[in-house]
Amino acid sequence: MKKIEWNEGLNHIAPDLVEKYVKQKDKLRQNNRKQKGVWLRFGAIAACFLLIVSAVIAVPMLQKANLPDVPTWDTAQYSAEDIAKLFDSMKLDGVATNAYTKIYVPDSKYLYIGNMTDDEYLKLYQHTQIDKELNEVELKAFIDAFLPKLAESLDAPIPQYSIKENNYSTGNNTLSASVDIGSYYLSASQYPQKNSLGLSKLEGNRQIVIDGETIQIDQRLSDEEILDSIHSIKNKLFGIFGISFSNAKVVRNFGSYTKHGVERVYIYFYDESAHDLNSLQPRPITDYIYISFDNLSNYSGDIVSDSILTVSGVHYFKNRSDIGDTQYDVIANAKRISISEAEALLYNGYVFGGHSCPLCMRAQDKIDFEGYDFVDIEYVFEYSNKNETPSIGIPFYAFYKNIGISENGNTIYAKTYVPAIEVSGYKEYFESQKDNHKNN
């Protein structure tokens, strides 16, 4: 930006806002590394103003008495009522708006917020559900393909097992087989869409030892160091299941009370190139193997630790149809709304998300998202209650606000969602929902 343009921009900034900016400049500098350059996307004039009073991840200094007008998009493809249904499917009684989720992390880097793209249009996804008939022969072939090598690696005899059909009132029937394999527990299942395996230990120290090597990680290490440390185990699992994946990611879950760092860690092995959505959500949608680590006392003998985690499980998910047949199709490219438009919705309380428990949601204290810390693009999928698989995927701005410190010293962030595309009928829908919410 030229010096003369900079000075001209300063002439239009209210003195009280400049003073407030000076007080917050250290925070702005720290936050700006997460979303640097994002404000440039919205034009040079707006950028000059935003640079002084905000960074994209730090809230513009809006006064509550002068809330911005809520934009209206009368020709939008979806309404606010349609958007709420994405979250309704995860609720018990359809209450899905005007709430937030609490996220606990020791450091903001574990929010896994990436740099937002500057795409003018965002993809909308439709999952084409192909349910195959349950097939006992297929499930048996899936299990038998790895069972001999798995038993050998666990220094256990090959067990005999039987397959049974499970009939549920939801109509989501499955086939399953479970058996002890040495001192371990093996469970395999077939769903209309996929076959799966779980290997765990339900008593004692619950460690899994493969070919004499204990599956374990040191939670104090970086994600890259953790993946390096588990390289040998990864290759052994690839050999057992007869598959190899090119990519891996570490996902850590933290809580509010445990004094021992993470509560759970998940390490996924998958092929990111197999589908665009593999890079947009924690769990891949294509085939994958993952190792889980618990750091809670769920069973007697469980070991919790500030460092080495040894309570593990191994899981393998394989789609029954080629991903080309059950892929998430791009059904539209919707125009992305600007950060300032999303903020107008945020400050007026037109937000989505929150607890899966409606009672917990209505008991929440109202959070003022002015001064929010981070914003990112995240996809939310509507899930069918019948088969628990996603259908429609919509991009959202996910806003994070630091709201305090938990009992164990973790930082608490409130997280809420605003659609990142044009949506109609906000005022009408939220007015109709007022009786359902505490934080209107």
**Alpha-carbon span 80 to 72, nearest angstrom:** 11
Q: Are residues 93 and 171 in the same domain?
A: no
Residue 359, exposed/middle/buried by CB under 10 A (0-12, 13-18, 19+)?
exposed
Q: Are residues 274 and 234 in the same domain?
A: yes
Q: Are residues 225 and 285 in the same domain?
A: yes
Q: Are residues 68 and 49 in the same domain?
A: no
Q: Are residues 225 and 201 in the same domain?
A: yes
To the nearest whole percent, how much of the chain has pLDDT over 90?
52
Confidence of residue 185 (pLDDT cuts 50, 70, 90): very high
Q: Are residues 186 and 309 in the same domain?
A: yes
269 bridge partner residues: 248, 289
Q: Are residues 238 and 305 in the same domain?
A: yes
Q: Are residues 148 and 111 in the same domain?
A: no
What confidence tens digit (pLDDT) does each residue in 211-241 have?
A: 999 999 999 999 999 999 999 999 999 999 9
Confidence of residue 356 (pLDDT cuts 50, 70, 90): low
What confidence tens digit (pLDDT) does each residue in 13-26 have?
A: 444 443 443 344 33
pLDDT of residue 211: 96
Residue 216 φ/ψ, nearest 5 degrees: -155, 160
Q: Give the three-class secondary structure for 111.
A: helix
Q: Does pTM surpass 0.95?
A: no
Contact yes or no for 347/399 (Cβ under 8 A): no
What confidence tens digit (pLDDT) does each residue in 199-217 have?
A: 999 887 889 999 999 999 9
Distances (CA, A) of 231 to 11, 287, 421: 58, 19, 41
Q: Are residues 208 and 141 in the same domain?
A: yes
For residue 331, give the H/E element and its range.
Answer: strand 328-335
Tokens of 10: 């300063």
Residue 58 covered by a domain: no
**Alpha-carbon span 230 to 202, nearest angstrom:** 22
Residue 121 covered by a domain: yes
| Residue 288 lies in domain | 136-319
Contact yes or no for 286/323 (Cβ under 8 A): yes
Last residue within a domain, chosen from 319, 345, 362: 319
Residue 59 covered by a domain: no
**44 pLDDT more than 70:** no
**Alpha-carbon span 160 to 179, nearest angstrom:** 8
Q: Are residues 76 and 48 in the same domain?
A: no
Tokens of 164: 């049974």
Q: Are residues 140 and 279 in the same domain?
A: yes
**Alpha-carbon span 411 to 243, nearest angstrom:** 39
Last residue within a domain, chosen from 255, 290, 319: 319
Q: Are residues 209 and 280 in the same domain?
A: yes
Last residue within a domain, chosen from 319, 352, 372: 319
Domain count, the chain: 3
**53 pLDDT more than 80:** no
Residue 236 covered by a domain: yes
Contact yes or no for 80/429 (Cβ under 8 A): yes
Residue 269 covered by a domain: yes
